[in-house]
Amino acid sequence: MNKKVILSLIIGSVFLVAAFVYKYFENASTKPKVEYIHNEGKTQGTFYSATYLQPEGIDLQSKIEEKLQQFDLSLSTYNPNSIISQINKNVDTVKTDIYFDEMYAMARSVSEKTNGAFDITVAPLVNAWGFGFGNHKRDKDPDLKSILPYIGYKKIKLENHKIIKENPHIELDASALAQGQSTDVISKFLEENGCTQYMVEIGGEVMCKGLNPKGEKWRIGIDKPIDEPTSMEQDFQTIVAISGVAINTSGNYRQFYYRDGKKYAHEIDPRSGYPVVHSLLSATVVAPTCIQADAYATAFMILGVDSALQICKTIPDMECYLIYSDKNGKNKVVYTEGFKKYITE
């Protein structure tokens, strides 16, 4: 092959490569940039929001709400047709589903690790004190002697997708897990649809992955415990930056009432039957899943500062941040060593 032919082939190849590169960048420059999508709405008597980057720019809101409706049919005590509502009504034919089974496994684990401070059979007590899905009479203390025989996580068991109760008066309340669990359900759904950057929040239960639209970790505020249930003021105790974990805060400063000058908060100790009275004002938990963070934040509010810290330190990949009132009535903060890495200010 002579030199002219070789030169022509080389020049031709260069032009082909140049044309390909030009066409590639021309297509890349004209391809629309994918933006974060934000959805919000109502679910489980509260609100949800989801901010996510879907690779094809597909808005998933209708499918998110379909998932939430499916979840509602399992664990909502406000839905008379849900699995948990039918179990509470002792419908013999009802069988549990994957959502219920997951909830029950986590509830049982947390109950065992907290020596019964966390207990999903607490429903009759929560209702009797005027905080649950039953009547809201708050004019006098309930008759605990008539209720406590039906309280205790060891008095139920799950076998072959059926809950077996020692007594038909036992009722279940999964409200300390359900919102966290539904947050996990939506997070998993987003990942199944190609989303690796997202934040899901349902009723204050938050799960984050990847980075926010600014290219930073997701920033979440931990509220100062303001003793006013109707207050719209939002003052943060601190701000955390998280990714790849869930976070939840439980406190006694939102759901409470006064009777005869005494404060009754919604955290009920299933072992005594009474609303808890101690210095812990709020418990924030960071964990691998939101159902875990939700359950332990509730349990820690029952246990109090010292026991909460002690138990938290024994559980891998879990950290907590506790706000409490000292003997002079001033708010103080204590947290596990591993929580430091999340604090930004």
What domains sit in the chain, N to C, each tagged with a CATH number? 37-165 (3.10.520.10), 210-342 (3.10.520.10)
Kindly provide the residue ranges of all beta strands, DSSP E only, lying in the chain, ordered along the sequence.
37-43, 46-52, 156-159, 162-165, 198-202, 205-209, 218-223, 236-242, 245-251, 256-259, 262-265, 280-287, 319-325, 331-335
Residue 266 pLDDT > 70: no
Which tokens in the block code for residue 193?
């649809």
Provide the pairing of β-strand 319-325 with 331-335.
Answer: antiparallel
Please tell me whether residue 224 adopts helix, strand or coil conformation.
coil
74-83, 184-193, 257-266: which has the minimum mean pLDDT? 257-266
Which tokens in the block code for residue 92?
């013999």
Closest CA to 290 of 252, 249, 254, 251: 249
Q: What would the mean pLDDT of 113-119 be, rounded to a whole number?
A: 97
What is each CA distance from 277 to 87, 109, 281, 303, in whole angstroms?
A: 31, 25, 10, 10
Residue 200 pLDDT > 60: yes
Residue 302 pLDDT > 90: yes
Asked if 324 and 334 count as a contact pair (C-beta separation under 8 A), the reply is yes
Biggest alpha carbon–alpha carbon distance for the chain: 107
Distance of alpha carbon 52 from the chain centroid: 17
pLDDT of residue 14: 39
Q: What would the mean pLDDT of 40-57 be, rounded to a whole number?
A: 94
Read off the DSSP letter of residue 316. T
pLDDT of residue 139: 60
> Please, which residues have CB within 8 angstroms of residue 247's CB and are 6 or more apart in sequence?
206, 208, 220, 240, 284, 285, 286, 293
Q: Scan for tokens 């987003």, then name that residue.
A: 190
Provide the pairing of β-strand 319-325 with 256-259.
Answer: unpaired
Distance from C-alpha of 110 to C-alpha of 104, rounded to nearest angstrom: 10
Kindly report the pTM of this predicted structure.
0.86
Residue 242 pLDDT > 70: yes
Q: pLDDT confidence of 34, banded at 50, 70, 90?
A: confident
pLDDT of residue 264: 53
Distance from C-alpha of 283 to C-alpha of 319, rounded to nearest angstrom: 10
Q: What would the mean pLDDT of 219-234 be, rounded to a whole number?
A: 73
181-195, 215-229, 239-253, 275-289: which has the minimum mean pLDDT? 215-229
Which tokens in the block code for residue 111?
């109950």
